[in-house]
Structure 1
Amino acid sequence: MRWYVRAMAKYPRVREQHIAVFGEGGSGKTVLVSSFFGPTQEGSYSNDLWDLVADDTGQGNRLYQNYLGMRDRARTPLTTRFAGTTYYFSVKLKGGDNAAAKKRPFDTLRLAWHDYPGEWFEESPSSEEEANRRVDTFRSLLRSDVALLLVDGQKLLDNTGEEERYLKSLLTNFRQGVLRLKDDLLGDEDRLVEFPRIWIVALSKADLFPDWDVYSFRDLVIEKATDPLDDLRSTLKDFVDTPDALSVGEDFMLLSSAKFELSAAGPEIDVTQRVGLDLILPVASMLPLERRVQWNERMEIPRKVLDTLADGAETLAEVLTGETFLDINKLVAKLPKFGPLASMAGLPALAAAAKMAGPKLREINAQAREHHDFLTATLTQFKLNLDQGVKDKLLIRSLK
């Protein structure tokens, strides 16, 4: 997740976060992003904290068109092939004219959703131009802290009783695809400092398994595909500086864009039956903050890595806890870039924000809403949603 304040102008003040989505062709990536965005554009949609807009109007119209095709005509979007796309969405906070808005550090959260073509993991490049495009597309998503690796629910169902065949093929193809990019991505660098650090294994089309919770999915993957998952983890560790600050196959998630059914009258799609998509923003914004604290507490992390890991975490913690980071920022400037003190910057305050939960979190959220502090209300709501996703057994967060 790369957060920054837009430097070209004072307004709008923007924080940006990135998420990378990987999956084979037909795994439902286009349907997912359409169902993430589409419902927020309906006339009946209501959100008292923020509005979601697509930064590119044409892109937004196409995604909403996809959603309307599912909602009104039970028609799924056309499959995209060999097209690497980044979608930019802005979460625009409400209450821009009130007193709390003038004090908040930013007004807009931008989500960059990187969709990496699944075919590029299944087939070799057909030309040097395509090979270069694959490298450039992968480089564009290196700013992501969170990556989703989709397991296609339909293919899992098609391989009932032999799920290991599909899972091994999926993970091996992905590993080999990444290995093909390794030399070009590393260049003259020994290891990459900036690289997705949290790799969530996510079941797409989870509606095909109505009796499953996320633990059912996790248990199947571990039972059937531990070795290829370990191989993928080892490969990704070879890419990164401080490889212990990397979670691969420790977090799991259920995702479904809608409920798809066949009836005597033909296909039916109930777009109101979505699973996990409301967790995308909380996962992208809150999970890196939590993981940074977890890693910081058990290992020594170089400053150059810390600066890219959940960048802007201090600002998030300030909003969540109401603490000021002026003294902490002065301390950070004096800390060494290496050594035992390098990773301690702001840790107590960050830990307080990352571990905030239960009644205290709900109290801060309620107070923020009462005082029309839309930023604090939004971030605490994201954290509440993340906790609820765990309680609802839609998400497993690594404890390491």
Structure 2
Amino acid sequence: MPPLDLHVAVFGASGAGKTVLLAAFYRAQTQPSFQEEYAYKIQAVNKAQGNQLLGRFYRLEEGKFPEGSTRFDEIEFDFFPRDLPEAAVRVHWYDYPGRWWEDDPVDAEEREAMRQGLLKLGMSQVGILLADGAKYRSEGTGYIRWLFEHFADECDRLRRTSAATGEEVSFPREWILALSKADLFPPDYGARDFEREVCRDADDQLAKLCSVLRAEHAFGHRFMLLSSVAAPADSQVDPRTSLGVRTLAPAILVSTVEGAVREAQATRKEKSAKETFFQGLRDLVQFVDSVDDFLPKRYQIVSKILRFVSIKDFASTRVDRLKKVREDALRRGDTFKAVLTGMVAALRDEEGLRAYHQNQ
């Protein structure tokens, strides 16, 4: 059975840390220790891209931070269960270069690259907006307000520009707001604290951004802390100090399912305003055999996910139960259930609870 395809678009201004994050994301999840703990590993579909990411990471260990990407990159990762040969999930990672936020294309070739990149954004189930933790720490919520305003204006410009060419860009409807360089914050600072500050001090800018993206619940719902590596001034980078990197793929998976539930709920003429996500998920499962008939194409993979991960697994807060389900699936050779349940469990362990927070 072919792997499930998850598409994620990553945005961030120059210097926010997207390039470092991608290298750390890949390196962390290719290690035997990760596979043993989380019961899956990842592999780059393109070997050359995988080697390039590893090379970036090893240079990081020497304190050599890579230059930010100046082009639209697409990298594909396959997720393999421990000791099983078949890939269960393929993540398509679209890296929208920060320089494109700030400057116009330099020539026709770059304009065409931007056009192709924008078309791929419409395939994405989830978008990630990366806020620069160093700037947030030094400038406070004024930086977050600027980031939201700037991103909203840029999205509006991209939509108008693409519409003029007859190819209107479609942005993801589900978003994660992630704070990079989280090692700069106190050890007891969590995603919940970040959420509280943003919703308190930048609510008007959040509302504007949601309006521009034409998605009422796009922002202000999911928050992450990400630290690719800790980089103290007087010592080498310690690759064991990452935060949230191992939680990122699980957060993308769950956000995709939540997006499908929201779409399905929107198609129903009658529903309670107080209906919870899990009530909506239960209704969605009841119609899983025909879910593809009314969900947008980018959410059709959810019909497959819901055949392998039960409502009880999504709702459970007990990591031990989820790990037992995962290990049982591995023994049976059930590729999909092993990886998907393992990802859900990763959101509930100690690191996941600090690095990822949903307020709805």
Question: Which residue type is aligned with residue 62 of structure 1?
Answer: Q
Q: 5 Å matches for 1:280-359?
A: 280-294=248-262, 296-297=264-265, 300=268, 306-321=295-310, 354-358=314-318
Q: What code does the residue aligned with 2:232 have? A: E
For residues 289 and 252 of structure 1, what CA distance do their matches in structure 2 show? 17
Provide the residue aligned with 1:168 in structure 2: 145
Cα distance, 1:209 vs. partner? 0.5
Mark the CA change 1:217 to 1:51 in structure 2 (over 3 Å): closer, same or farther. Answer: closer
Map 1:124-139; keep pairs closer than 5 Å: 124-127=104-107, 129-139=109-119
| Kept in 2: contact 1:317–1:354 (CA 8 A) | no
Residues in 2 aligned to 1:137 and 1:389: alpha-carbon distance in whole angstroms: 36
More helix by share: 2
Q: In terms of Rg, which structure is larger?
A: 1
SS at match of 1:175: helix
The residue number in structure 2 matching 1:215 is 192
Deviations 1:273-320 (A, max 9, x none): 111111122122232113423553476399776133532212111112
Q: Please, which of 56, 68, 72 is the counterpart of residue 84 of structure 1?
A: 72
State percent identity of aligned pairs.
26
Report if aligned partners of 2:25, 2:245 keep a CA contact under 8 Å in 1: yes
TM-score by length of 1: 0.74
**1:397 maps to 2:353:** no
Code of the residue aligned with 1:216 in structure 2: it is D
**Aligned counterpart for 2:232 among listed residues 247, 261, 269:** 261
State the AA in 2 paired with 1:227. Answer: D
1:364-389 per-position Cα deviation (integer Å, ceiling 9, x unaligned): 22422343434312211111112336
Q: Which residue of structure 1 aligns with residue 98 of structure 2?
A: 118
> For 2:165 and 2:28, how far apart are their aligned partners in 1?
45
Aligned length: 336
Provide the rounded CA distance (Å) in 1 between the counterparts of 2:354 and 2:28.
23
Corresponding position: 1:179 with 2:156: yes
Change (3 A) 1:227 1:373: same
Q: Where do 5+ consecutive residues of structure 2 fail to align?
A: 270-290
Moved more, 311-320 or 371-380: 371-380
Amino acid at match of 2:142: R
Label 1:126 to 1:228 Cα distance change in 2 as closer, same or farther (>3 A): farther
Distance 1:317 1:205, change over 3 A: same
* C-alpha displacement of 1:226: 1.9
Q: Quick one: which amino acid aligns to residue 116 of structure 2?
A: D
Task: Please give the per-residue CA displacement for 1:73-121, whole angstroms capped at 9, x wherever unaligned.
Answer: 12222333x2111111111345557xxxxxxxx7442111111111212
Task: Find the counterpart in structure 2 of residue 371 from structure 1.
Answer: 332
Structure 2: distance between partners of 1:307 and 1:183: 23
Paired residue type of 1:115:
D
Which residue of the partner structure matches residue 178 of structure 2?
A: 202
SS in 2 for 1:247: coil
| Alpha-carbon RMSD | 3.0
| Aligned 8 A contact 2:63 2:237 in 1 | yes
Q: Aligned partners of 2:205, 2:84: CA distance in 1, in Å?
A: 49
**1:161-218 alpha-carbon deviations (Å, 9 max, x no partner):** xx233223222221121112113444698987x6411111110001011241112212
Indicate how the Cα distance of structure 1 residues 79 and 177 shifts in structure 2: closer, same or farther if over 3 A, else same: same
Check conservation: 1:19, 1:145, Cα contact below 8 A: yes
Change (3 A) 1:93 1:215: closer
| 1:38 and 2:27 aligned | yes
Q: Which residue of 2 aligns with 1:247?
A: 218
Measured in 2, the distance between the counterparts of 1:143 and 1:55 equals 19
Call closer, same or farther: CA 1:108–1:298 in 2, change over 3 Å: closer
Structure 1 unmatched runs, 5+: 1-11, 98-105, 238-242, 322-350
